[in-house]
Structure 1
Amino acid sequence: MTTKPKTSRGRKAGSSRIVAPVPPRDIFYTSQDGLKLFARDYGQRHSTATPVICLPGLTRNSKDFEMLATYLSKDRRILCPDLRGRGRSQYCDNWTDYTPQAEMLDIFDLMAAVGIQRAIFVGTSRGGIITMLMAAHRPNAILGAILNDIGPEINFAGLKRIASYAGVMEAPTTWTEAAFKLRMMNEREFPTLSGDDWYAQARRTFAEKAGAPAIDYDTKIVVGLRKGLDAANGVLPDMWAQFKALKHVPVLALRGENSDILAAETIEKMAHEHPKLMTVTVKDRGHVPLLDEPEALKAIDAYLAQF
C-alpha cells in the first residue's frame, strides 16, 4: 500500500498497517435483557476530550473500526462495541430481538456501564440508523454524529443486494479464499484496494476458528431484514424525523462515491434539512467507506476539532 499524506493533526492518514501503541482494553457488560455484550476500549479513559463511540453495520463488528480507533485514540477515548449477535457479543434466542431499537438500548447500557453521559457517535450503515434513533430518544446523549454512508432514506436495490448474501454465504475454507471472495463481490465498487487490503478486510469480516475463517455474526440477524423487504413492496420507510433530531449538533455525512445505499440526492436533501451538516464524498468507495481514506480522515479531523 502507498504511504498516505499527513493530516492536519500530524498523524499519518490511516491504513491497515497502523499499529496501536497501546492495545485496546476488552469490556464486557450486560444489557437490560440479560445479554453479555462486548466492546473494545481505546485510548485514555480519563481524557478530557469528548469520547467517541463507533457503531458498526448490519453484520459487522468492532474490528471495522480498528484503524480509525487507533488513529483517534492518541488524544481521546474511543469505544467500539460489538452489537448483539455480532463478534464477541452474545447471540439472541429469537430473530425478533435483533432490532435497531434493541441495539440502541444496548448502547445506552454501555454508556452507563463505562460512566459516559455524552459522546460523539460514528455510525456506519446500521450504526448510523441507531445513532439517529438515539437522537430522537435521548438527544442530550449525543454531542455530535458522523454518519458513514447512511441517511434517512435507503435505496431499496442496495438493501436488497445486501440481503441476497448476508446470512446465506458459507464461510471460506482458507483466508486466501476469503480475500478472493470479498474481492470478487466488491471490487467494482472498491477498485483501488490491493490484494493486501482485501486480505485485511477478510480478517475484519470473518472470525478465526481452528485457524480458518468463520462467520462472525448470528445469521438470524438477517431474517428481520428479509421480512421487512418483503413487506415493503419496494418502498422503504424513511427516517427524516429521526435525522432532524440531530439538528442540535453538528453532523458529518460521508458517502462512498459508488454507494448503492446512500444516493447523492439524499445527501443534498440532508444538507438542506440540517444547517450544521458537513458532507464529503469518498472516491472509489462503495458501501461503505473504510474510514482510512485520506479525504475521510481529513474530514473527521476537521469535524472533531470542534470538540
Structure 2
Amino acid sequence: MFAESLVPVSDDPVVELFVAQSGYCAERPLLVIHGGPDWDHSYLREPLARLAGHRRIVLPDLRGCGRSTRGLADGAYTPGAATTDLVRLLDALGIERADVLGFSYGGLIAQRLALAAPERVRRLVVASSSVLPVPEDAFDGWHERTERMAAEAGVWADPSLSGAGLTRAAALAAAPANVWRPDALPGYLDVLAGVRFSGEWMRPWQAGTLPGPRLPDAPRRLADSGIPLLLLHGRQDMTFPVGLVEPTLELIPGARASVVEEAGHMAHIDQPRAWLEALEAFLSDPSEG
C-alpha cells in the first residue's frame, strides 16, 4: 500500500529522507511528522493508511531517524534543520500546499514548519503534543502516572544502555504509560517491534547541546498566521497534559480541539476510530481552507 523512496533534501550535509507514501494520486496531501525524535514514522501508519483512498499520505523519517540519513555530526540534529528538510521535501515531491499533522515531538516541528512557511500549510494538526510549554507541576498528584512510568525511569538510569538500544528499551518500558487501555497494549507492543529506533538525536540531547524545539510566542504567532489548527489529544496523555488544551484555545481563538476519551499519549492506538474520525472531520470541513 505504501510506496517507499529516498528523497534528497540537503547537499551540506548530504541528507536523504526515507519517505513512505500512500494514495499518491489523491488530492490534498497530508504530511505526517513523527515524534521521538529517535523513532521512525511506522507507528503512525495505522490508522492513517485508511485515508489513502482520498488523501495522499506522506510519512517521512526525520534526519537521523529510521531509514533516513544517519551518522551526521551532532550539531546537524536540530529542530531548525529538520524543519528545513521538510520544506525541501515538499519541494522535491511537487507539493505546493499540504495539511500537516505533527505527533508528539513532531507536533513541535509541525508548528515550526507552519510558522517558517505558512504558505505551504493548509491546515495544522498538533496531535498528542502542545503549543504551550508543559509546566513542571502539570502531573502532580497523578499517582497512576507515577506507577506506569516507573519502569521507563529505570531504563534511562541504566548505565549499560546507550544509543538505539536505549531508545528501544525506553519505548518498551514506557508502553504502559503511553497506551491507556490494557487491551490495546499487546497490539502496541507489536507496533513497537517494527520501529527502527536510532540514538542520533539522543547524543546532543544528553550533552545539553540540542536546541529546544519550541518557538518564542508560538500561540500568538499561530493565531496571527490564520492557519486552521486542531489540537488532537488523548484524555489520559501522560506526556503532554490535556490540561493545556483549554488555555491554548483561549490564546488561539480560531483553533479547535478534539479530546479522545479513554486514550493516552498514543491516542491513535487506544482509540483509532475516534482519533481518525476527529482528524478527518477537521481536514474535510468545507468552512475553512
What is aligned with 2:114? 135
What is aligned with 2:30? 52
Within a 5 Å distance, the mapping from 1:143-158 to structure 2 comes to 143-155=122-134
What is aligned with 1:245? 221
Q: Contact conserved, 2:102 with 2:109, CA < 8 A, in 1?
A: yes
Within a 5 Å distance, the mapping from 1:156-167 to structure 2 comes to 165=156
TM-score computed with the length of structure 2 as normaliser = 0.78
Q: Which runs of 5+ in 1 are unaligned?
A: 1-22, 173-177, 208-215
Q: Contact conserved, 1:139 with 1:246, CA < 8 A, in 2?
A: no
Tell me which of 258, 266, 273 is aligned to 2:236: 258
Tell me which of 54, 67, 78 is aligned to 1:99: 78
Tell me which of 195, 198, 201 is aligned to 2:191: 201
What is aligned with 1:110? 89
Q: Would you say 1:305 and 2:284 are equivalent positions?
A: yes
Q: Would you say 1:42 and 2:38 are equivalent positions?
A: no
What is aligned with 2:144? none
Cα distance, 1:301 vs. partner? 1.7
Distance 2:243 2:216 in 1: 14
Q: What code does the residue aligned with 2:156 have?
A: Y
Cα distance, 1:220 vs. partner? 2.9
Q: Contact conserved, 2:118 with 2:227, CA < 8 A, in 1?
A: no
Q: Would you say 1:277 and 2:255 are equivalent positions?
A: yes
Per residue, is there more helix in 1 or in 2?
2
Comparing 297-306 with 244-253, which one deviates more in the overlay?
244-253
Q: What code does the residue aligned with 1:244 have?
A: R
Matched residue of 2:49: which SS? Answer: helix
Distance 1:230 1:38 in 2: 23
Q: What code does the residue aligned with 1:70 have?
A: A
Task: Report how many residues are paired.
Answer: 261
What is aligned with 1:168? 162
Cα distance, 1:223 vs. partner? 2.6
Deviations 1:29-75 (Å, cap 9, x if unpaired)? 11223112210011033x2x311000000122220221133111110
Tell me which of 200, 208, 227 is aligned to 1:220: 200
Q: Contact conserved, 2:70 with 2:200, CA < 8 A, in 1?
A: no
Deviations 1:242-282 (Å, cap 9, x if unpaired)? 34333312111122222233233321121012222221222
What is aligned with 2:181? 192
Comparing 238-247 with 76-85, which one deviates more in the overlay?
238-247
Structure 2 vs 1, CA of residues 230 and 127 (structure 1 numbering), >3 Å: closer, same or farther? closer
Cα distance, 1:120 vs. partner? 0.4
Matched residue of 1:109: which SS? Answer: helix
Q: Would you say 1:90 and 2:90 are equivalent positions?
A: no
Q: What code does the residue aligned with 2:220 have?
A: K
Q: What code does the residue aligned with 2:175 have?
A: N
Q: Which runs of 5+ in 2 are unaligned?
A: 139-148
Identity of paired residues, percent?
21
Structure 2 vs 1, CA of residues 121 and 293 (structure 1 numbering), >3 Å: closer, same or farther? same
Q: Contact conserved, 1:92 with 1:98, CA < 8 A, in 2?
A: no
Q: Would you say 1:286 and 2:264 are equivalent positions?
A: yes
Distance 1:71 1:272 in 2: 33
TM-score computed with the length of structure 1 as normaliser = 0.74
Distance 1:256 1:243 in 2: 21
Q: What code does the residue aligned with 1:168 have?
A: S
Q: Contact conserved, 1:56 with 1:125, CA < 8 A, in 2?
A: yes
Q: What code does the residue aligned with 1:197 have?
A: G
